[in-house]
Amino acid sequence: MRSVHSRLPLLLAPAALLVLAGCATDSASVVPAHDEGAVWSYDGASGPAHWGELADDDALCGTGVRQSPIDLPEADDGPELDLVGSGPVRGATADNGHTVQFTADDGASTTIDGDALDLVQMHFHAGSEHAVDGDRFAAEFHFVHADDRGALTVVGVLAERGAHNPAYDSYVAGATAGTGRESTVDVEAMLPDDRSFVTYDGSLTTPPCTEGVRWIVFEDPIELGADQLAALEAVHDHNARPVQPLGDRIVRDRL
């Protein structure tokens, strides 16, 4: 598959990724970079309630009708996601001012429902951005993928306080290093054992809040140790956008 790393700038969450977190030449085709110089934040006059007012390019944050995150329905244990990772992936981990982003080296991929997608980046939010039946979790990780047109699929993993999770050690170490460093991400190892999921059409969760992003969020959370959560929260805490109206969208348990 043709790599999109050279065509997609660093994401936040989506984007920024999730979060951080666009597609080819349509509304979801370009995901701008956001760094420490960006004017938006998670509180005050530059917080989520005002993102749509900060720049013309960010207007969708206030006017969009297919925005993310959302309050997801209670888990119903539907079919499990057919996902195959490419194994441990090397890349650079760096703080972009809003989260800590792991940017995968070229060639990293994940096969979802038979479609090979480029793994572009992953990042975290503390606490979670998505809620489940009104309840939010300690953290949420976004694995941002792109197809050969640049269309984004973000895989969301919710996290709760519990047992130490060695699959996240390399990323957490990179997040707390203070400067950019090499890290390793193994998508499959970082997912919950039960892979039942929900999916819906949404957006980046940070400015410019581009719509047309396919979200896949696992119903079961993973566990992270108290030390791992504390390490992440010491770097960024309360970096989560509030849930957005569902509108006429349908949350499904099948792709």
**What pLDDT shows up at residue 8?**
41
**Per-residue pLDDT reduced to its tens digit, 166-218:** 999 999 999 988 777 889 999 999 999 999 999 999 999 999 999 999 999 99
Q: What is the pLDDT of residue 130?
A: 98
Q: What pLDDT does 12 receive?
A: 40
Residue 144 neighbours by CB under 8 Å, 6+ apart: 11, 14, 15, 17, 18, 19, 20, 21, 119, 120, 121, 122, 123, 152, 153, 154
Q: Which helix (H) or strand (E) holds 136?
A: strand 135-136
Q: 241 or 75, which is more confident?
A: 241
DSSP 39-65: S--SSGGGSGGGHHHH-GGGTHHHH-S
Average pLDDT of 116-131? 96
For residue 241, what pLDDT is reported? Answer: 97
- Rounded-to-integer distance, Cα 27 and Cα 239, Å: 25
pLDDT above 70 for 144: yes
At residue 31, the pLDDT reads: 43
Residue 50 catalytic? Answer: no
Q: 50-54: which pairs have CB atoms within 8 A and are 24 or more residues apart?
A: 51/207, 51/209, 52/209, 54/207
Average pLDDT for the chain: 86
In the chain, what are the domains?
Answer: 44-235 (3.10.200.10)
Beta strands at 211-218 and 197-203: parallel, antiparallel or unpaired: antiparallel
Give this prediction's pTM.
0.86
Which amino acid is located at 11 in the chain?
Answer: L
Which of 98, 125, 142, 236 does the annotation list as catalytic?
Answer: 98
Q: How many Å from the N-terminal Cα to the C-terminal Cα in the chain? A: 21
pLDDT at 19: 37
Asked if the model's pLDDT at residue 3 lies above 90, the reply is no
Q: Please tell me the predicted confidence (pLDDT) of residue 222.
A: 97
